[in-house]
Amino acid sequence: MFSSFNFKEYESVMSNNGAFKGVEVDLMIEILKDWQQAPGQPYTLLELRDGKTLVAFAIIHQVSGRNFTFDIRFIVLDRDYRSSTAIQHLFEMIDEELLKKIPFAVIRIEISSVKKESLGENALENASYCQIGHIAAYYGENDDFFFYIKAIFRNPPDFIKISKPFEDALSSAAPLEEIHTQEENG
């Protein structure tokens, strides 16, 4: 199965990206070898090509013990395609792939400043990911840690907008001084 799979092609895109270190390339190769043995178990590989040229790819996997939560282990864009819409197409492919199988999903990505910048300006935000975590200088000077998350739905629910949380519950609650009076008299 996949005997003609070209690992060097993926190494080349990672090298041309400029944000990945040797050990990360080695880890990606090991993950691709696992994927090659059993695609989709636990890793899914998505790739974007310009003709025959690999320009971007993502490796995602389902989080252990979670039916609807997925991590993007690697998302890599060739530096020559940063000014294109390639990364947005790849994010769309991730959403489509997951929604083919399940009705909704939560997608998480942990990423460094350097890797985030390698995807292009605001790439994660433009793909509707929300930053929920940030640690300055986690990977070193000028290389922060970021944690992003996104929820996707095959049939999006009609969310209601709440201007103030618990607004209705608060209006019917007794004022604080009335509660203290009740406790003192009780």
75 and 107 Cβ atoms separated by less than 8 Å: no
Question: Quick one: CA torsion of 128, 134, 137, 138, rounded to 10 degrees?
Answer: -100
Q: Please give the structure tokens belonging to residue 137.
A: 């200088």
Would you tell me which CATH number, out of the four given (3.30.750.200, 3.40.50.300, 3.40.630.30, 3.40.120.10), belongs to the domain 7-155?
3.40.630.30
Going residue by residue through the chain (186 aa), what tens digit of pLDDT does each one get? 344 689 999 999 999 998 998 899 999 999 999 999 988 888 999 999 999 999 999 999 999 888 899 999 999 999 999 989 999 999 999 999 999 999 999 999 999 999 999 999 999 999 999 999 999 999 999 999 999 999 999 998 887 777 766 655 555 555 555 555 555 665
Cα–Cα distance for residue pair 150/64, rounded to 1 Å: 18
Return the pLDDT at 1.
38
- Model confidence pLDDT, tens digit, residues 53-70: 999 999 999 998 888 999
Query: The pTM is what?
Result: 0.81
Residue located via tokens 């910048």: 117
Cβ neighbours of residue 76 closer than 8 Å, sequence gap 6 or more: 10, 13, 14, 17, 20, 56, 57, 58, 118
DSSP-derived pairing of the beta strands 104-112 and 69-77: parallel
Q: What do you get for the CA distance between the two ends of the chain, in Å?
A: 76
Domain boundaries along the sequence of the chain? 7-155
Return the pLDDT at 186.
58
- Model confidence pLDDT, tens digit, residues 137-164: 999 999 999 999 999 999 988 877 777 6
